[in-house]
Amino acid sequence: MDLVPTDLRRRERLPLTAPARTLLDLAGTVDIDELERAFNEALVLRLTRRADVVVLLERLRHHPGRRALGDLVSHLDGPRMTRSEGEQRLLVLVRAARLRVPKTNVRIGRYEVDALWDRERLVVEVDGYAFHSTRGAFERDRARDAELQAQGFRVLRVTWRQIVEEPEAVVGRIARLLGPDIAAA
């Protein structure tokens, strides 16, 4: 084991690896979706910083998890924070289709949108039936869309069922709205 003092922590006298090191070790054993969720959580909870992970990757160039975590940090422009499995699945589809990855859960005025492609002024909202099936939610969604459209954004709503059962159609709609320069950078 190639642990150095910066890789270690203690909690209630129990020795642990530092969060960045834990992510690197985890990277060699889980799929990219699980790794991205763990990385997101560590960043959101402020357990580690992207810079800590980059330093660790530089030091441990031959670690089994280095490639997966390195790809996540650099090639995928880091993890994207999502609030639902639907949003996570949307990102998986976007990446698989080699589209540019949107910003996620970002504010536009008083609203937080699920996915945003800034340059194209495209917002994609992932709607699960459980949270969008009431009359109030229906009305709020329409008011939100109208306000975003008035600010010059195009709004595309996709459902969980569409993401799961019609992924090609979802990606096709997004690709058409993104226009001719859609490839991942």
To 5 degrees, how large is the angle CA 162–CA 152–CA 128?
25
pLDDT, one tens digit per residue, over 131-142 is 656 778 788 889
Q: Give the residue numbers spanning the domain of 41.
A: 5-75
Whether residues 65 and 91 share a domain: the answer is no
Q: How far is CA 74 from CA 22, 50, 67, 149, in A?
A: 18, 10, 10, 33
The whole-angstrom separation of Cα 166 and Cα 96 is: 14
Whether residues 93 and 170 share a domain: the answer is yes
Whether residues 33 and 111 share a domain: the answer is no
In a domain, 183, yes or no: no
Whether residues 16 and 67 share a domain: the answer is yes
Whether residues 70 and 102 share a domain: the answer is no
Whether residues 56 and 101 share a domain: the answer is no
Whether residues 69 and 90 share a domain: the answer is no
CATH assignment at residue 173: 3.40.960.10
* Overall number of domains in the chain: 2
Whether residues 70 and 118 share a domain: the answer is no
In a domain, 158, yes or no: yes
**85-96 helix and 32-44 helix, angle to the nearest 10 degrees:** 120
Q: Looking at residue 78, what is its pLDDT?
A: 46
Whether residues 54 and 108 share a domain: the answer is no
User: Would you say 138 and 132 are in contact if contact means Cβ atoms under 8 Å apart?
Assistant: yes
Could you tell me the pTM of the whole model? 0.56
The whole-angstrom separation of Cα 60 and Cα 49 is: 17
Whether residues 30 and 110 share a domain: the answer is no
Residue 183 DSSP class: B
pLDDT, one tens digit per residue, over 41-61 is 787 677 888 888 888 998 998
In a domain, 185, yes or no: no
Q: Which of 28, 43, 75 is the last residue of a domain?
A: 75
Question: How much of the chain, in percent, has pLDDT values that exceed 90?
Answer: 43
> Would you say residue 89 has pLDDT above 90?
no
The residue behind tokens 């917002």 is 123
Q: Looking at residue 83, what is its pLDDT?
A: 61
Whether residues 25 and 57 share a domain: the answer is yes
